[in-house]
A and B are shown apart, each in its own frame.
Chain A
């Protein structure tokens, strides 16, 4: 079942957002199937971890809403560092902290032991041509959100909160099949129009 808000008669903060393409499954290379060759952790691998996280508001993934992009994931395997920048769909999105928390949790759960891997998360407000779509909007300070996400104790405390954990948990569940709302660009599966 798809989790998150958006049920009921209430209006969404942003009912008709721009939709971006989903990237397909990462093709498996011969090297990956070879027992001997070690595969380093790269940006795509980290991106694959977070791209399917659901937006708390829409039945859409962070990738489809362009909240995260592969180019804004910086990974260094030798140094064991990951840096992810994310941008909420609208600049004053009240969901920013929740989205950040979901990404953080997903990374914490999926990266090899946290002591070895450092992951930093950073909310960027307007890295895209956001000014065009939201003219005259007040630039909000993103430091608040970033501070919260960097603070281990505050993240831990947030996860003690049942309601927050619930939202984060449902965000981390498998996304609906592509093609449900938006055209998918994955191989072989196409939006079905009518299933009568």
Chain B
């Protein structure tokens, strides 16, 4: 027994000796892992490994010793968690002692210490002893990068687990580390070293007398100048180093006295990156500094920032300079003052004011804007700074406004005022009397009113925006100011010329009406109502363009101010009554007039969506009224008045569709259910009882006769039922779906049949998966198959197929693939092929009326990607198999799919598709050319490497297309020529002379828009490879 056990013990030990020998003497690497694995599995102990190593650890040849220690260290790295405290103590003693050994041995010793530094069983006191030994015995900077990294790792490990012990070392630890990192050059090591310094500071290690040394040893890298080598495997970017160094430098106010002079010096340097880095570092410092640190440097800092913002040609320097000034001011504002201390903020702001103020008086000169921006950057930092600056600057600007008579000068001044006013919105003042703007209110208002009456549009625009900002200040304006302003806005809304002012006036009216509904409903709504009445009279008298445009403006103004529920209650009835009077024939109505009313209604509906109560009010008031008007219009009559038919036109119905849709999508389910109980019976049973006016000469039966005007109103049904929340149950659904399918294949009126197909698809998309969906689907498929066979309603059946496919594709329905296959098959149909190709565009695009996310349709996020992966192979295959005359259909379908695909999805697929796309460029169909070009252009910008493989073909084809007979193709081809310049320059240079010559031709194009593209493309090609670009 005992002998067997002894044998067992000897056998592995014997194997261990062999492994050790192979590693140390045989210079093989494999045994190390083997030994580690055996130790881990418990075959032998660390002690046994040491024993086995015995002689090699004491070998006189340093290489052999190094090798022996290396094996031990590698084993320890993998097995440190198994070590007992006693073993750790011995090992540490051994390794510390070895630090004195030959330099060849040191790297392996450090590895071992790193393993031990991870050891949980390390008894207290040893961490300090190891570090002391390293600081004393090892000259770190003469080691290789990897070994230096090991030293940093040991320190990092100890800092993570033995913080208290290390702190016991006091400032000696800091000093030791300073010596370790002094002279470090490798970016990988620097990242670790910076991290350690940051921790030293942020975890409050004692820096003792070594603050300046620690600053020196890190700040010597500032500003970071590092360009990663090409194909750098370590992936360290310049930005990584910049940020980690910045974290160190800006981590403590103790560095301030050394850092601030350095930053000032670097801001003043010639190098852009140094300026930016310094300004950003200053910005970061302000988060931890206080008045004390900044005090002595404020004049120089201000001088540097001012100079940069005044002089720079770089937008980034300007932005960073302003940001730094903002933080400086914020920092000064934050500090709590003793009663007797000097307020640095005050003197600092005085300096800024002194240097910038006078520039504000020269609104034509370049420095006016940099000065205003500096003042605003400082004013934006705190309420105190804001008060101080605005109280100084506002009176000056008000005075300057009156001093300068020219509109453009006044505009600049008012725009500066606007900037300062906007800053006031950031601060809220508890006490009404303390609000600093109160004192200027009257002057500001009179100035704004001057601007509003100025002939210059630009000045008017700033005036409008300024008034909107004043209005947004709580309790600032008096009712008198508002009445005046409303008068001005009314006047501006009706300005004759086609200026931007009325658009801005409408926007401002909308914003202000939400805040001051009473002022608007008492002063503006009556005026607009009167205007609308007058407009009706004018319209009925005859066609006068200016009066018509006035009428349109009135409608737009009514919708613009409908931003408050109380105002909607006044404006909506006005608009609806207006539409009713048009329909009755008392007003001469053209399509465009009716459309304008619909657009206004649409805008009101959009504004009502935010507030559930307004939303229901709108729905309940507008939808029955619009349906009644439409039903009325659809009634067959003896004397067919022209006006009535206007409501049945495609465009008008489409506009009504979007009004009804918008009024429905945001309804709560229970309110929507109330509404659906009226509207579905109206269409299915002709139940007109809920309509406000319901005495019609005959019954309303939209599904009975596909050719009548009544069937066109199915579009309105579609607008409503397809916008309902998904959980609203639709009554008589079965009957409705059957009627819709019937109507969709009825050949007499394409508008009605398309509306029915869309409605069917919209409903199908929302139904929960189950038997019902499958039944409806079968119904549609049967109808489609029957319809597609030669006959009168092939195109109707195709439309139904298309919409049903879309409904299923959007929700990832399992049967969608059968339908898309059917659709792809139709590409080779001589009659329906082109329509099928265009159908792909519809499948991939977002609809506006049905199957929308806002209309609660089930639209899966990645449906385009999925459609792409499922169908593109079939399209490509179909293309290759197709006969020559139908090939363009496949290309067109494909390019529609690719065009709508998110570019990141397309890029990986590009290599396989590119050849097909290039072929599509030679296709004679303009639409294919155009959509291929618009597909290739972003690819050129985003995947220049892949595209550069085909540069030869691309150049030739683009140049060919730049003389296409179609202007749109020429423009797109030239844009692609422009985008080609993004390819790597060396690839392009051989083509440069040829391209520049060829692009001279479109410079002479007869169309200006083409010439413009040619100029910019050719300009870019000239810049290729030239110095300074």
Contacts and interface: CB of A to CB of B under 8 A. Distances in A.
Contacts of A185: 458
Interface stretch (B21-29, B408-416, B816-824, B830-838): B408-416
Interface residues of A, number: 60
Contacts of A17: 365-366
A98 to B, nearest CB: 12
Contacts of A9: 268, 270, 307
Contacts of A169: 1023, 1026-1029
Interface stretch (B574-582, B699-707, B761-769, B1006-1014): B1006-1014
B734 interface: no
B369 interface: yes
Interface residues of B, number: 59
Interface string A159-194: 000110111111011001100111101010011011
A11 B458 CA distance: 33
Contacts of B366: 15-19, 58, 60, 181-182
Interface stretch (A67-75, A106-114, A118-126, A141-149): A106-114
A149 B1006 CA distance: 29
B361 interface: no
From DSSP, what is the main secondary structure of chain B's interface residues? helix
Contact of A180 (B318, B364, B376, B380): B318
A168 B315 CA distance: 21
B1008 A45 contact: yes
A118 B1027 CA distance: 28
A38 B412 CA distance: 40
A191 B967 contact: no
Nearest to A20: B364
Nearest to A65: B366
Contact of A16 (B367, B373, B1028): B367
Given A33-B1009, A109-B1018, A191 B369 contact: yes
Contact of B1028 (A41, A109, A167, A190): A167
A18 B364 contact: yes
A109 B319 CA distance: 34
A113 B367 contact: no
B311 A196 contact: no
Interface in B252-304: 268-270, 272
A173 B1008 contact: no
Given A38-B1007, A110-B1003, A111-B1003, A172 B1023 contact: yes
Contact of B313 (A59, A112, A163, A177): A59
B1009 A32 contact: yes
Contacts of A116: 1004
B1003 A112 contact: yes
B133 to A, nearest CB: 50
B746 interface: no
B59 interface: no
B377 A172 contact: no
B411 A15 contact: no
B1015 to A, nearest CB: 4
A17 B408 CA distance: 16
Nearest to A183: B412
Contact of B380 (A21, A41, A196): A196
Given A39-B1007, A113-B1000, A183-B412, A194 B326 contact: yes
Contact of B367 (A7, A15, A41): A15
Interface in A6-32: 6-9, 12, 15-19, 21, 28, 32
Interface in A75-99: none
Contacts of B323: 196
Interface in B982-1029: 1000, 1003-1004, 1006-1009, 1011-1012, 1015, 1018-1019, 1022-1023, 1026-1029
From DSSP, what is the main secondary structure of chain A's interface residues? loop
A183 B966 contact: no
B322 to A, nearest CB: 7
A8 B372 CA distance: 22
Given A15-B367, A111-B1003, A165 B1028 contact: yes
Nearest to A114: B1000
Given A38-B1006, A49-B1015, A193-B372, A173 B326 contact: no
B1000 A112 contact: yes
Contacts of B1012: 48
Contacts of A167: 1028
B966 A35 contact: yes
Interface string A29-58: 000110100110100010011000000001
Nearest to B1029: A169
Contact of B1029 (A58, A112, A173, A187): A173
Contacts of B359: 16
A129 interface: no
B313 A2 contact: yes
Interface in B317-374: 318-319, 322-323, 326, 359, 362, 364-370, 372-373
A3 interface: yes
B395 to A, nearest CB: 20
Contact of B1019 (A12, A60, A110): A110
Nearest to B372: A193
B365 A18 contact: yes
B926 to A, nearest CB: 11
Nearest to B408: A21
B365 A16 contact: yes
B326 A196 contact: yes
B310 interface: yes
A23 to B, nearest CB: 12
A19 to B, nearest CB: 5
A1 interface: yes
The winner among A109, A116, A162 for most chain B CB atoms within 10 A is A109
Contact of B1015 (A3, A110, A196): A110
Contacts of B1019: 106, 109-110, 172
A120 B1000 CA distance: 19
Contacts of B883: none
A3 B314 CA distance: 9
Contacts of B368: 19
Interface string B450-486: 0000000010000000000000000000000000000
A167 to B, nearest CB: 7
Nearest to A9: B268
B419 interface: yes
B55 interface: no
B612 to A, nearest CB: 33
A176 B318 CA distance: 13
Interface in B104-125: none
Contacts of A194: 322, 326, 373, 376-377, 380, 419, 423
A6 B312 contact: yes
Given A18-B364, A109-B1019, A172-B1019, A193 B270 contact: no
Contacts of A109: 1015, 1018-1019, 1022
Given A60-B366, A166-B1027, A194-B322, 12 more contacts: A3-B1028, A9-B307, A16-B362, A33-B967, A35-B1007, A45-B1008, A48-B1012, A170-B1028, A173-B1029, A190-B415, A193-B372, A194-B419
7 contacts: A16-B359, A16-B365, A33-B1009, A39-B1006, A59-B314, A111-B1003, A176-B315
Interface of A: 1-9, 12, 15-19, 21, 28, 32-33, 35, 38-39, 41, 45, 48-49, 58-60, 106, 109-113, 116, 162-163, 165-170, 172-173, 176-177, 180-183, 185, 187, 190-191, 193-196
6 nearest interchain CB pairs? Answer: A166-B1028, A112-B1004, A38-B1006, A39-B1008, A169-B1028, A8-B270
